[in-house]
Amino acid sequence: MKPRHFVTFLDLSGAEVRSLISRATELKHSKAIYEPLKNKVLGMIFEKSSTRTRVSFETGMIQFGGGAIFLSPRDTQLGRGEPVDDSARVLSRMVDAIMLRTISHRTVEIFAEHSRVPVINGLSDRFHPCQVLADMQTYFENRGDIAGKTVAWIGDGNNMCQTYIHAAQQLGFTLNIACPEGYEPELELIEEAATFVNLSRDPFAAAEGADLVVTDVWASMGQEEEQALRAKAFANYQVDSKLMAAAAPNALFMHCLPAHRGEEVSAEVMEGPQSVVWDEAENRLHAQKALLEFLLNPQT
C-alpha cells in the first residue's frame, strides 16, 4: 500500500487538519509518557539551515520513544550526485519516515514518488506545510475555528504565502494577499483557490478587518543576494502598529520566524499583545507530533 505523505497542505483534507489540530492540542497538555513510535526512526534531510524544524522533529521523535537522524547533503552521497530517487528508495528501506527541507520542491516530490514510507515537506522553495499546520493550531487555540475568518498576508508571495493559499482552500477562510509587483505567488495557485483569495498591492486594504495578520522575511533562504533590492520593493509592507490598527481589534499577529525586526515587522508588533509568534513556534512540536502519529499510524 502507498504511504500517505505531507508534501503540500492539500495532502490533508480540512477534516483531517481539524482532527490533527485537536490531537496536537491534546498532546501539548498531556503530561503522560506516551511512546507510540518506540524504535521508529525519522530521517531528516536538510539542504538549508533550520532551528525550529530540526529541533521540533527531533524532539518529537525522542518524546515518542523513537529517534531522528540529521542528514545534510554535505556529508551524504546526495551531495555528490547520487540520484534523488535512488536515495529515496534506499533510505525508505531503513527509516520509518523521511522529512526533507529542500532547495527545489521537485526534490520532495521525487522522494515521495519513490519512498516506501511517509515523506514530510519541512520547507521547499514553494511550500512550508508543517509551519502552516502549527499556525492553524495556534489560531484555533486562541480564537476557535478559522472557517469564515479573514487572514491578511503582507509581503512576499513566497513558500509560506503559497501554503496559506492551500490552507484557505482546505479550511475555508478568506486570504487577502498584499505584495509588491513582481513578488506575487504563482498565478495557478491563486486561480485554483480563486473564491478564497484576493490579491492587491495595498497592505492597508488587505489588513482591513482581518482576524489574523501574517508576514515573513522579505528575502527567503537562497535569496540573500537580492536583500537590498527586496528591501526597496517591500519598504511599504512592514507590519507595524498602524497596519495592525487596520485589522480587527482582536486580530492576532503571526510570523514563522526567524524575523527581522525593523524590516517586515516592527519590534513593537513582534513583542506586542497581539503577537502569538512564540506559541506558534512551540506548536511546531505538537502539530508535527500529531502529524507523525497520523502518518505512521502506530498500532498501540
The answer to whether the beta carbons of residues 201 and 181 sit under 8 Å apart is yes
- Of 102, 148, 137, the residue nearest 121 (C-alpha): 102
Among 199, 221, 231, 246, binds ligand NVA (CB under 6 A): 221
Compare residues 11 and 216 and give the one whose CB is closer to ligand NVA.
Answer: 216
Active site residue 256: yes
Site of grid cell 525508505: 92
Which of the following is catalytic: 130, 161, 179, 256? 256
Active site residue 114: no
CA distances from 283 to 38, 74, 288 (A): 22, 30, 8
Restricting to residues 129-188, which ones interact with ligand NVA according to CB under 6 A? Answer: 158-160
- Of 254, 292, 285, the residue nearest 56 (C-alpha): 285
Compare residues 108 and 190 and give the one whose CB is closer to ligand CP.
Answer: 108
Residues 63-102, one symbol each (x = binds ligand CP by CB under 6 A, - = not), give ----------------------------------------
SS3 of residue 131 by DSSP: helix
Distance between CA atoms of 163 and 158, rounded to whole angstroms?
9
Compare residues 150 and 158 and give the one whose CB is closer to ligand CP.
Answer: 158
Pick from ligand CP, ligand NVA, none: which does 51 bind, CB < 5 to 8 A by kind? ligand CP
Active site residue 161: no
Cα angle 148, 199, 138; round to 5: 45
Among 252, 256, 276, 277, binds ligand NVA (CB under 6 A): 256
- Of 273, 7, 16, the residue nearest 170 (C-alpha): 16
Residue 154 makes CB contacts below 8 A (sequence gap 6+) with 178, 179, 203, 206, 207, 213, 214, 215, 237, 239, 243, 264
Pick from ligand NVA, ligand CP, none: which does 266 bind, CB < 5 to 8 A by kind? none
SS3 of residue 164 by DSSP: helix
Q: Which one of 4-12, 45-53, 169-177, 181-189 is the stretch in contact with ligand CP (CB under 6 A)?
A: 45-53
CB of 132 to ligand CP, least distance (A): 10
Active site residue 101: yes
Q: Which one of 49-57, 108-116, 239-247, 291-299 is the stretch in contact with ligand CP (CB under 6 A)?
A: 49-57
Q: Would you count residue 149 as binding ligand CP (CB under 6 A)?
A: no
Compare residues 120 and 190 and give the one whose CB is closer to ligand CP.
Answer: 120
Active site residue 227: no
- The contacts found for 104-110 with CB under 8 angstroms, 24 or more apart, are 107/47, 108/7, 109/7, 110/84, 110/85
Compare residues 52 and 166 and give the one whose CB is closer to ligand CP.
Answer: 52
Q: Would you count residue 239 as binding ligand NVA (CB under 6 A)?
A: no
Between strands 252-255 and 150-154, the pairing is unpaired
CA distances from 204 to 176, 201, 242 (A): 10, 9, 9
Among 19, 25, 50, 198, binds ligand CP (CB under 6 A): 50
Which of the following is catalytic: 18, 52, 126, 284? 284
Question: Is the bond leading into 258 cis (omega within 30 degrees of zero)?
Answer: yes
Q: Would you count residue 59 as binding ligand CP (CB under 6 A)?
A: no
Q: Which residues bind ligand CP (CB under 6 A)?
A: 50-53, 123, 131, 256-257
Active site members? 101, 128, 131, 216, 256, 284
